[in-house]
Structure 1
Amino acid sequence: MWLALGMFASLVISAPSSAQAQEFDDGQYYRLTTEWQGDGKSLDVVNDGANDQLILADTGDYSGQYWKFTSVGDGFYRLTTQWQGAGKSLDVVNDGTNEKLILADTGNYSGQNWRVERQANGYYRMTTQWQGAGKSLDVVNDGVNNQVRLAPTGDYSGQYWKIVAQ
Protein backbone atom coordinates (compact mmCIF):
# COMPACT_ATOMS: atom_id res chain seq x y z
CA MET A 1 0.00 0.00 0.00
CA TRP A 2 2.81 2.45 0.84
CA LEU A 3 4.39 1.73 -2.52
CA ALA A 4 1.12 2.57 -4.29
CA LEU A 5 0.72 5.79 -2.28
CA GLY A 6 4.33 6.75 -2.99
CA MET A 7 3.84 6.19 -6.72
CA PHE A 8 0.63 8.25 -6.64
CA ALA A 9 2.36 11.08 -4.76
CA SER A 10 5.19 11.20 -7.29
CA LEU A 11 2.65 11.37 -10.13
CA VAL A 12 0.82 14.24 -8.46
CA ILE A 13 4.04 16.13 -7.75
CA SER A 14 5.36 15.71 -11.30
CA ALA A 15 2.09 16.60 -13.05
CA PRO A 16 2.31 20.00 -14.76
CA SER A 17 0.19 22.80 -13.36
CA SER A 18 -2.33 24.54 -15.61
CA ALA A 19 -0.03 27.58 -15.73
CA GLN A 20 2.76 25.38 -17.13
CA ALA A 21 0.68 23.30 -19.51
CA GLN A 22 -0.09 24.67 -22.95
CA GLU A 23 -3.84 25.22 -22.93
CA PHE A 24 -4.34 26.64 -26.41
CA ASP A 25 -4.10 24.90 -29.77
CA ASP A 26 -2.04 26.98 -32.24
CA GLY A 27 -4.37 25.85 -35.05
CA GLN A 28 -7.60 26.86 -33.30
CA TYR A 29 -9.40 30.21 -33.06
CA TYR A 30 -11.01 31.41 -29.84
CA ARG A 31 -13.63 33.96 -28.78
CA LEU A 32 -12.80 36.27 -25.85
CA THR A 33 -15.55 37.65 -23.62
CA THR A 34 -15.46 39.02 -20.07
CA GLU A 35 -17.19 37.98 -16.90
CA TRP A 36 -18.53 41.54 -16.63
CA GLN A 37 -20.06 41.95 -20.10
CA GLY A 38 -20.87 38.28 -20.67
CA ASP A 39 -21.08 36.24 -23.87
CA GLY A 40 -22.95 38.99 -25.74
CA LYS A 41 -19.82 41.17 -26.11
CA SER A 42 -16.58 39.90 -27.68
CA LEU A 43 -13.11 41.33 -28.15
CA ASP A 44 -13.12 42.65 -31.73
CA VAL A 45 -11.16 44.81 -34.17
CA VAL A 46 -12.87 47.97 -35.46
CA ASN A 47 -13.32 47.80 -39.25
CA ASP A 48 -12.60 51.48 -39.95
CA GLY A 49 -9.86 51.48 -42.58
CA ALA A 50 -7.03 51.58 -40.04
CA ASN A 51 -8.26 48.23 -38.72
CA ASP A 52 -6.09 48.35 -35.62
CA GLN A 53 -8.42 49.58 -32.85
CA LEU A 54 -9.86 47.12 -30.34
CA ILE A 55 -13.33 47.18 -28.86
CA LEU A 56 -15.86 44.96 -27.12
CA ALA A 57 -18.54 44.55 -29.77
CA ASP A 58 -21.77 42.62 -30.07
CA THR A 59 -20.87 38.98 -30.47
CA GLY A 60 -21.26 37.70 -34.01
CA ASP A 61 -19.68 35.63 -36.74
CA TYR A 62 -16.94 38.18 -37.50
CA SER A 63 -13.33 37.25 -38.30
CA GLY A 64 -12.10 40.11 -36.06
CA GLN A 65 -13.61 38.26 -33.09
CA TYR A 66 -11.70 35.03 -33.76
CA TRP A 67 -8.36 35.05 -31.98
CA LYS A 68 -5.44 32.67 -32.36
CA PHE A 69 -3.06 32.01 -29.46
CA THR A 70 0.40 31.11 -30.75
CA SER A 71 2.96 30.00 -28.18
CA VAL A 72 6.13 32.12 -28.18
CA GLY A 73 7.76 30.22 -25.30
CA ASP A 74 8.12 30.66 -21.54
CA GLY A 75 4.33 30.49 -21.10
CA PHE A 76 3.60 33.49 -23.34
CA TYR A 77 1.34 33.71 -26.40
CA ARG A 78 1.03 36.00 -29.40
CA LEU A 79 -2.61 36.92 -30.16
CA THR A 80 -3.69 37.45 -33.76
CA THR A 81 -7.08 37.53 -35.45
CA GLN A 82 -8.47 35.46 -38.28
CA TRP A 83 -9.23 38.73 -40.10
CA GLN A 84 -5.78 40.38 -39.93
CA GLY A 85 -3.74 37.18 -39.82
CA ALA A 86 -0.30 36.52 -38.37
CA GLY A 87 1.08 39.87 -39.57
CA LYS A 88 -0.85 41.87 -36.92
CA SER A 89 -0.67 41.11 -33.19
CA LEU A 90 -2.35 42.40 -30.04
CA ASP A 91 0.13 44.96 -28.71
CA VAL A 92 0.54 47.70 -26.11
CA VAL A 93 1.32 51.19 -27.43
CA ASN A 94 4.61 52.48 -25.98
CA ASP A 95 3.47 56.07 -25.42
CA GLY A 96 4.35 56.83 -21.80
CA THR A 97 1.00 55.70 -20.36
CA ASN A 98 1.57 52.23 -21.86
CA GLU A 99 -2.05 51.13 -21.51
CA LYS A 100 -3.53 51.58 -25.00
CA LEU A 101 -4.00 48.38 -26.98
CA ILE A 102 -3.92 48.02 -30.77
CA LEU A 103 -3.24 45.48 -33.47
CA ALA A 104 0.31 46.28 -34.58
CA ASP A 105 2.75 44.78 -37.03
CA THR A 106 3.94 41.51 -35.56
CA GLY A 107 7.47 41.66 -34.20
CA ASN A 108 9.70 40.53 -31.39
CA TYR A 109 8.18 42.93 -28.82
CA SER A 110 7.45 42.09 -25.18
CA GLY A 111 4.17 44.05 -25.45
CA GLN A 112 2.97 41.39 -27.91
CA ASN A 113 3.77 38.49 -25.57
CA TRP A 114 0.77 37.67 -23.40
CA ARG A 115 0.60 35.45 -20.34
CA VAL A 116 -2.84 33.87 -20.12
CA GLU A 117 -3.43 32.35 -16.70
CA ARG A 118 -6.49 30.47 -15.54
CA GLN A 119 -7.94 31.94 -12.36
CA ALA A 120 -9.72 30.16 -9.50
CA ASN A 121 -13.08 31.40 -10.86
CA GLY A 122 -12.53 29.56 -14.17
CA TYR A 123 -11.81 32.71 -16.19
CA TYR A 124 -8.40 33.87 -17.44
CA ARG A 125 -6.25 36.88 -16.59
CA MET A 126 -4.16 38.30 -19.43
CA THR A 127 -0.95 40.26 -18.81
CA THR A 128 2.03 41.15 -21.00
CA GLN A 129 5.67 40.26 -20.68
CA TRP A 130 6.46 43.98 -20.92
CA GLN A 131 4.14 45.29 -18.16
CA GLY A 132 4.13 42.15 -16.03
CA ALA A 133 1.50 40.88 -13.61
CA GLY A 134 0.76 44.39 -12.31
CA LYS A 135 -1.32 45.33 -15.38
CA SER A 136 -4.10 43.25 -16.93
CA LEU A 137 -6.27 43.37 -20.04
CA ASP A 138 -9.37 45.21 -18.85
CA VAL A 139 -12.60 46.85 -20.02
CA VAL A 140 -12.96 50.57 -19.23
CA ASN A 141 -15.95 51.18 -16.94
CA ASP A 142 -17.06 54.50 -18.47
CA GLY A 143 -20.77 54.01 -19.13
CA VAL A 144 -20.13 52.84 -22.70
CA ASN A 145 -18.11 49.88 -21.39
CA ASN A 146 -16.60 48.76 -24.69
CA GLN A 147 -13.02 50.12 -24.61
CA VAL A 148 -10.16 47.81 -23.64
CA ARG A 149 -6.82 48.76 -22.12
CA LEU A 150 -4.13 47.58 -19.74
CA ALA A 151 -5.11 48.59 -16.21
CA PRO A 152 -3.74 47.95 -12.74
CA THR A 153 -4.46 44.34 -11.86
CA GLY A 154 -7.30 43.82 -9.41
CA ASP A 155 -10.33 41.69 -8.64
CA TYR A 156 -12.45 43.25 -11.40
CA SER A 157 -14.88 41.31 -13.60
CA GLY A 158 -13.65 43.25 -16.65
CA GLN A 159 -10.25 41.60 -16.17
CA TYR A 160 -11.64 38.06 -16.13
CA TRP A 161 -11.75 36.68 -19.66
CA LYS A 162 -13.65 33.67 -20.92
CA ILE A 163 -11.80 32.01 -23.81
CA VAL A 164 -13.86 29.57 -25.88
CA ALA A 165 -12.75 27.57 -28.94
CA GLN A 166 -14.73 28.38 -32.08
Structure 2
Amino acid sequence: MSAMSTSWYRIKNLAKPDMAIDVKNDGNQERDGALKMAPDHDVTGQHWQLRPSPTNEGAYNLSTKWLGTKMLLDVYGSDKTRPHLSPAGDYTGQQWKVEKYGNGTWKLSNAYSGPLVLAAEESGSELRLKDPKSSPASQWILEPTVLGQ
Protein backbone atom coordinates (compact mmCIF):
# COMPACT_ATOMS: atom_id res chain seq x y z
CA MET A 1 0.00 0.00 0.00
CA SER A 2 3.02 2.33 -0.04
CA ALA A 3 2.17 3.49 -3.58
CA MET A 4 -0.99 5.08 -2.18
CA SER A 5 0.94 7.95 -0.61
CA THR A 6 2.28 9.21 -3.95
CA SER A 7 -0.46 8.12 -6.34
CA TRP A 8 -3.87 9.55 -7.16
CA TYR A 9 -7.05 7.48 -7.18
CA ARG A 10 -10.63 7.87 -8.23
CA ILE A 11 -12.74 6.21 -5.50
CA LYS A 12 -15.64 4.45 -7.19
CA ASN A 13 -18.40 2.32 -5.73
CA LEU A 14 -18.93 -1.28 -6.82
CA ALA A 15 -22.72 -0.83 -6.80
CA LYS A 16 -22.46 2.19 -9.12
CA PRO A 17 -19.11 1.88 -10.93
CA ASP A 18 -19.79 4.87 -13.19
CA MET A 19 -19.91 7.16 -10.11
CA ALA A 20 -17.01 8.48 -7.99
CA ILE A 21 -16.66 10.31 -4.68
CA ASP A 22 -16.51 14.03 -5.44
CA VAL A 23 -16.47 17.33 -3.54
CA LYS A 24 -19.58 19.51 -3.83
CA ASN A 25 -18.64 22.87 -5.32
CA ASP A 26 -21.00 24.84 -3.08
CA GLY A 27 -18.76 27.75 -2.08
CA ASN A 28 -18.25 26.32 1.40
CA GLN A 29 -15.73 23.60 0.52
CA GLU A 30 -12.73 25.44 2.07
CA ARG A 31 -14.40 25.21 5.51
CA ASP A 32 -16.66 22.17 5.31
CA GLY A 33 -16.26 20.08 2.18
CA ALA A 34 -19.54 18.34 1.51
CA LEU A 35 -19.24 15.16 -0.55
CA LYS A 36 -21.37 13.50 -3.17
CA MET A 37 -21.30 10.62 -5.59
CA ALA A 38 -21.01 12.07 -9.08
CA PRO A 39 -20.56 10.74 -12.60
CA ASP A 40 -16.96 9.71 -13.23
CA HIS A 41 -15.16 12.77 -14.69
CA ASP A 42 -11.63 14.12 -14.85
CA VAL A 43 -12.07 16.77 -12.13
CA THR A 44 -9.72 17.46 -9.23
CA GLY A 45 -12.46 16.83 -6.65
CA GLN A 46 -12.44 13.17 -7.76
CA HIS A 47 -8.67 12.70 -7.50
CA TRP A 48 -7.86 11.32 -4.05
CA GLN A 49 -4.55 10.66 -2.36
CA LEU A 50 -4.14 8.28 0.57
CA ARG A 51 -1.22 9.30 2.79
CA PRO A 52 -0.09 7.35 5.86
CA SER A 53 -1.38 8.99 9.04
CA PRO A 54 1.50 10.50 11.02
CA THR A 55 -0.23 9.64 14.32
CA ASN A 56 -1.96 6.28 13.69
CA GLU A 57 0.14 3.49 12.19
CA GLY A 58 -1.74 1.58 9.52
CA ALA A 59 -4.25 4.38 8.97
CA TYR A 60 -4.44 6.86 6.10
CA ASN A 61 -5.44 10.49 5.65
CA LEU A 62 -7.46 11.03 2.45
CA SER A 63 -7.29 14.33 0.58
CA THR A 64 -8.31 15.59 -2.85
CA LYS A 65 -6.20 17.20 -5.53
CA TRP A 66 -8.62 20.15 -5.54
CA LEU A 67 -8.44 21.11 -1.85
CA GLY A 68 -5.03 19.60 -1.05
CA THR A 69 -3.74 18.11 2.19
CA LYS A 70 -5.18 20.93 4.32
CA MET A 71 -8.66 19.34 3.99
CA LEU A 72 -9.06 15.67 4.92
CA LEU A 73 -11.85 13.11 4.73
CA ASP A 74 -13.53 13.12 8.14
CA VAL A 75 -16.90 12.56 9.82
CA TYR A 76 -18.85 15.07 11.89
CA GLY A 77 -18.22 14.88 15.63
CA SER A 78 -21.98 15.01 16.20
CA ASP A 79 -22.77 12.42 13.50
CA LYS A 80 -20.29 9.58 12.95
CA THR A 81 -22.20 8.47 9.86
CA ARG A 82 -21.80 11.65 7.76
CA PRO A 83 -18.50 11.99 5.88
CA HIS A 84 -17.15 15.35 4.75
CA LEU A 85 -13.83 17.13 4.28
CA SER A 86 -12.60 19.18 7.22
CA PRO A 87 -9.42 21.08 8.08
CA ALA A 88 -6.53 18.72 8.77
CA GLY A 89 -5.86 17.88 12.41
CA ASP A 90 -5.08 14.99 14.70
CA TYR A 91 -8.66 13.68 14.73
CA THR A 92 -9.64 10.01 14.77
CA GLY A 93 -12.35 10.72 12.19
CA GLN A 94 -9.56 11.59 9.72
CA GLN A 95 -7.67 8.33 10.28
CA TRP A 96 -8.99 5.81 7.75
CA LYS A 97 -8.37 2.09 7.51
CA VAL A 98 -8.24 0.85 3.93
CA GLU A 99 -8.75 -2.91 3.91
CA LYS A 100 -9.05 -5.36 1.02
CA TYR A 101 -12.30 -7.24 0.55
CA GLY A 102 -10.51 -9.77 -1.65
CA ASN A 103 -12.43 -9.15 -4.88
CA GLY A 104 -10.44 -6.13 -6.04
CA THR A 105 -12.43 -3.79 -3.82
CA TRP A 106 -11.69 -2.06 -0.55
CA LYS A 107 -13.48 -1.29 2.71
CA LEU A 108 -13.04 2.21 4.20
CA SER A 109 -13.57 2.85 7.91
CA ASN A 110 -12.22 5.34 10.42
CA ALA A 111 -11.12 5.18 14.04
CA TYR A 112 -13.86 7.54 15.29
CA SER A 113 -16.83 5.75 13.71
CA GLY A 114 -15.80 2.35 15.08
CA PRO A 115 -17.09 -0.60 13.08
CA LEU A 116 -19.08 1.49 10.59
CA VAL A 117 -17.88 1.48 6.96
CA LEU A 118 -18.22 4.04 4.20
CA ALA A 119 -21.08 3.20 1.83
CA ALA A 120 -23.00 4.82 -0.98
CA GLU A 121 -26.67 5.48 -0.33
CA GLU A 122 -29.13 3.54 -2.48
CA SER A 123 -29.99 6.75 -4.33
CA GLY A 124 -26.38 6.74 -5.47
CA SER A 125 -25.78 10.42 -4.75
CA GLU A 126 -24.97 10.49 -1.02
CA LEU A 127 -22.43 8.81 1.27
CA ARG A 128 -22.86 7.46 4.80
CA LEU A 129 -21.02 5.23 7.23
CA LYS A 130 -23.09 2.13 7.89
CA ASP A 131 -23.04 -1.28 9.53
CA PRO A 132 -20.18 -3.31 8.07
CA LYS A 133 -22.12 -5.78 5.99
CA SER A 134 -20.50 -6.93 2.79
CA SER A 135 -22.56 -5.37 0.03
CA PRO A 136 -21.60 -3.65 -3.23
CA ALA A 137 -22.58 -0.30 -1.66
CA SER A 138 -19.76 -0.64 0.91
CA GLN A 139 -17.12 -1.89 -1.53
CA TRP A 140 -14.86 0.65 -3.17
CA ILE A 141 -12.69 0.52 -6.27
CA LEU A 142 -9.46 2.51 -6.01
CA GLU A 143 -8.83 3.36 -9.65
CA PRO A 144 -5.33 4.75 -10.25
CA THR A 145 -5.51 7.96 -12.25
CA VAL A 146 -3.66 11.05 -13.33
CA LEU A 147 -5.19 14.35 -14.32
CA GLY A 148 -6.02 14.43 -17.99
CA GLN A 149 -7.01 10.76 -18.17
Structure-2-length-normalised TM-score: 0.90
| Aligned-partner SS, 1:25 | helix
Unaligned runs of 5+ in 1: 1-21
1:77 corresponds to: 60
| Aligned-partner SS, 2:93 | helix
Deviations 1:36-82 (A, max 9, x none): 001x1010001110121101101111000000100014210000000
Work out the CA distance in 1 between the residues paired with 2:14 and 2:3.
Answer: 20
2:77 corresponds to: 94
In the TM superposition, what is the alpha-carbon distance from 1:23 to its structure 2 partner? 4.5
In the TM superposition, what is the alpha-carbon distance from 1:113 to its structure 2 partner? 0.3
Count of residues in correspondence between the two structures: 140
| Aligned-partner SS, 1:115 | strand
2:116 corresponds to: 135
1:65 corresponds to: 46
Deviations 1:82-122 (A, max 9, x none): 00001000000011x32111110000000000000011222
1:113-124 equivalence runs, <5 A? 113-124=95-106
CA contact (8 A) 2:81 2:113 kept: no
CA contact (8 A) 2:71 2:85 kept: yes
| Aligned-partner SS, 1:158 | helix
Of 8, 29, 34 in structure 2, the residue corresponding to residue 29 of structure 1 is 8
2:21 corresponds to: 43
In the TM superposition, what is the alpha-carbon distance from 1:145 to its structure 2 partner? 1.8
CA RMSD of the aligned region, Å? Answer: 1.1
Work out the CA distance in 2 between the residues paired with 1:62 and 1:108.
Answer: 28
In the TM superposition, what is the alpha-carbon distance from 1:24 to its structure 2 partner? 3.6
Amino acid at match of 1:112: Q
Identity of aligned residues (%): 26
Work out the CA distance in 2 between the residues paired with 1:24 and 1:112.
Answer: 20
Unaligned runs of 5+ in 2: none
Structure-1-length-normalised TM-score: 0.81
Query: Which consecutive aligned stretches of 4+ in structure 1 deviate over 3 angstroms post-superposition?
Result: none
